Amino acid sequence: MSSIKGYYGKLLYINLTTGKIEKREIPEEDLAKFIGGRGLGVKILWNHLQKPGVDPLSPENPLIFMTGPFSGFPVPSSSRTCVVTKSPITSPVHSPYPHASTLTYSNIGGFFGPELRFAGYDGIVITGKANSLCYIVIDDDKVEIRDAKKFKGMRTDAFDKAILEELKDRRYKTVYIGPAGENLVRYASILHTSTRAAGRGGVGCVMGSKNLKAIAVKGSKQPDVAHHKKFIEILEKARLVLNNSPNTKNWRSYGTAGYIVKSSDQGTETVRNFREGTFPEAYKIGAEAARRDVWVRDIACMYCPLACKKSGRTKGKYGGIVHDGPEYETGTMLGSNLLISDMAGLLKIIYNVDDLGLDAISTGAVIGFLMEAYEKGMINRKFLDGIELKWGSVDATLAIVQKIAYRDGIGDLASKGVKALFQKIGQGSEKFAIHVKGLELAAHNIQANPPRALCYATANRGGCHLNGDSVEAQNFRAMIDSTGVCLFAAMDKVYEEPIISMLSAITGVEYDRAQFLKAGERVFNLEKLFNYCEGFRREDDWLPDRFFEDAFTIGPKKGAVLDRAKFRDMLTQYYKERGWDPETTKPTEAKLKELELDKIIS
């Protein structure tokens, strides 16, 4: 029995090749050092993949669903589940291993993580590959692998309803893949409630490679708290400060869509495949337009006062659907990025992307790249299977989305991401193929934002906008991802101290801010070690030429462009601050010893 509270200390291991299901104890040392969620998931991945170069789509690659110590407790905004695995879409510039890639971690909100804890588990580790499509059912201690052939090819919206009808119990919380995951699209996502997605890094592709359609869970337990009275006192304080924060009110009113117009006005939005930072028609797809014409419901994840998700119905040619959005990432990557300002058309695209089980960020980046290559005459309509892929075309975008999900024609190549596309097209197209380490960048443009450029370049999972713009921010966010708290809430300064205090009260391990950040630094460095072993070096922490050569031509940041020399200096300073070798980016022996990682890699 672990002396650290707030956990069961138990993982559910499922081997889909053999059908073996077992419960394993989590070493207390791992709970103390890696906390949960992202951190503990990375440590489990490290333990499983002892040799580099494992094919991410092989049965050997584990798919890990991790909760945090806050999961299942009524902590505000603490419903996150972190999916950890080796990514099928990233790759280094040079490596001795043909299947070298980064790890990836992808967060999803909603209700699945808390329910997994109610069932008595801190996480699930899935290995192997089933002979045919299957799904997993977890009902407290009862765990089964069931046949899912009848659900093959089913899109996520329909499946979300069908699986609950099959189980005859709406208390089950489910995660699942769509056709894109089944068809091994490299940036397929895992969906929950048909609108919440663990989208980044191809986690849905790995799930599909295991012939796993879904996981359903329900439970009736809850772990112990170390200091119950203290926890209740801090919990009440946390609720009050978060509920009364102006930031919370903004999330409730506008969700992330509030940034669509704001970012455009600041010149930091992704527009026309990252060519510009301002979209003159952003107001047509922003939060105010959505609130006026579309949204009818504000939706919250479990225990969350932010209610940042918005849902509504559109009318007209693309109308008749009820779905989530636009959010900032979906609205920008599938809207502004493609010069699409038709709100109903945009929501139809978002719906199809979710329904097919694709990552909206990578999908938008891939289509933006193809639109630009087509505009420049590098590819023609024959290459695109007859699709007139012009900027602003909703119908052409919908057609490409369909082809990608089913890997049909041009969709087969496009399903592998922008890196595979520019390697095929050539003609200098790599200059505007927007990715880092093979993972497409998100909706935050960087010609006028060097700190965000650093964020993208140094992210361990590839071009990640949530990585953090500084060393301290990266360590803090790694720790937040390890607790089960949503980053949107955690970014509010008024919530930072209550988070640390609640972690101490739940676990019985006393944390101050310095210790909290040190734990995040340990997680970040273990991720870096994983990538380093796969062959990633300084040359992989770089950005496409677009950001150094193509200055904005419109908007408040007109003329902005990154300076190569200054950015190199920024990276060098970053590595020194991290305690990494500035030439190779390998963490130094002194840093590994400081973080108690030296024994792990010895």
In the numeric block, which tokens belong to residue 152? 């093959």
Question: 307 in the Ramachandran plot: left (φ > 0), alpha (ψ -120 to 50) or beta?
Answer: left
Q: What percent of the chain has pLDDT over 90?
A: 96
Distances (CA, A) of 41 to 44, 90, 166, 260, 480: 5, 19, 31, 33, 13
Question: 343 in the Ramachandran plot: left (φ > 0), alpha (ψ -120 to 50) or beta?
Answer: alpha
d(CA 208, CA 310): 29
CATH assignment at residue 125: 3.60.9.10
Choose the final residue of a domain: 375, 402, 433: 433
- The predicted model gives 467-495 an average pLDDT of 97
d(CA 562, CA 549): 8
The total of structural domains in the chain comes to 3
> With bands split at pLDDT 50, 70 and 90, how would you rate the model's confidence at 27?
very high
Kindly tell me if the per-residue pLDDT of 356 is higher than 70. Answer: yes
Phi, psi at 440, each rounded to 5°: -65, 145
d(CA 491, CA 306): 12
Q: What is the pLDDT of residues 75-97, one digit of tens each?
A: 999 999 999 999 999 999 999 99
67 and 209 part of one domain: yes
pLDDT of the residue at 602? 58
Kindly tell me if the per-residue pLDDT of 136 is higher than 70. Answer: yes
Instruction: Give domain status of residue 152, yes or no.
Output: yes
Cβ-count burial 412-450 (b if 16+ within 10 Å, e if not)? ebbbbbbbbbbeebeeebbebbbbbbbbbbbbbbbbbbb
d(CA 399, CA 388): 10
429 and 483 part of one domain: no
Choose the final residue of a domain: 400, 433, 466: 433
Q: Are the C-beta atoms of 213 and 151 separated by less than 8 Å?
A: yes
Instruction: Give domain status of residue 444, yes or no.
Output: no
Kindly tell me if the per-residue pLDDT of 144 is higher than 80. Answer: yes
Instruction: Give domain status of residue 408, yes or no.
Output: yes
- The predicted model gives 361-389 an average pLDDT of 98
- The predicted model gives 572-595 an average pLDDT of 97
423 and 457 part of one domain: no
173 and 265 part of one domain: no
d(CA 554, CA 343): 23
- 519, 487, 573: which is closest to 251 by C-alpha? 487
pLDDT of the residue at 37? 98
Q: Please, which residues bridge with residue 81 across strands?
A: 108
Please spell the DSSP secondary structure of 308-329, one letter per residue.
-EEEEE--STT-S-EEE---HH
Choose the final residue of a domain: 159, 189, 218: 218
Kindly tell me if the per-residue pLDDT of 599 is higher than 90. Answer: no
- The predicted model gives 374-390 an average pLDDT of 98
Instruction: Give domain status of residue 250, yes or no.
Output: no
d(CA 190, CA 357): 7
- The predicted model gives 524-545 an average pLDDT of 98
pLDDT of the residue at 3? 87
pTM across the whole model: 0.98
Q: What is the pLDDT of residues 219-278, one digit of tens each?
A: 999 999 999 999 999 999 999 999 999 999 999 999 999 999 999 999 999 999 999 999
Per the model's pLDDT, the better-predicted residue between 314 and 552 turns out to be: 552
Rg of the Cα atoms in the chain: 22
pLDDT of the residue at 444? 97
Query: Under 8 Å CB-to-CB from 377, ≥6 apart: which residues?
Result: none
Q: Are the C-beta atoms of 195 and 355 separated by less than 8 Å?
A: no
Instruction: Give domain status of residue 38, yes or no.
Output: yes
Task: Locate all alpha helices (DSSP H) within 376-492, ordered by sequence.
Answer: 394-406, 410-414, 418-425, 450-458, 471-483, 487-490
Distances (CA, A) of 190 to 200, 206, 368, 485: 9, 10, 23, 19
401 and 279 part of one domain: yes
pLDDT of the residue at 208? 98
CATH assignment at residue 411: 1.10.569.10
In the numeric block, which tokens belong to residue 227? 């200091």
Cis amide linkage into residue 96, ω under 30° from 0:
no
262 and 213 part of one domain: no
421 and 545 part of one domain: no
Kindly tell me if the per-residue pLDDT of 338 is higher than 70. Answer: yes
Q: How many CB atoms lie within 10 A of CB 147?
A: 12
458 and 429 part of one domain: no
Q: What percent of the chain has pLDDT over 70?
A: 100
Instruction: Give domain status of residue 22, yes or no.
Output: yes
Mean of pLDDT over the chain = 97
414 and 314 part of one domain: yes
Q: What is the pLDDT of residues 278-292, one digit of tens each?
A: 999 999 999 999 999
131 and 75 part of one domain: yes
CATH assignment at residue 516: 1.10.599.10
287 and 173 part of one domain: no
Instruction: Give domain status of residue 226, yes or no.
Output: no
pLDDT of the residue at 323? 84
Quote the DSSP letter at residue 63. Answer: E
Query: Under 8 Å CB-to-CB from 180, ≥6 apart: which residues?
Result: 188, 189, 204, 205, 208, 356, 357, 358, 404, 405, 415
357 and 464 part of one domain: no
Residues in the chain: 602
Instruction: Give domain status of residue 30, yes or no.
Output: yes
Kindly tell me if the per-residue pLDDT of 1 is higher than 60. Answer: no
Find the domain containing 474 and state its range.
Answer: 450-601
Phi, psi at 171, each rounded to 5°: -75, -20
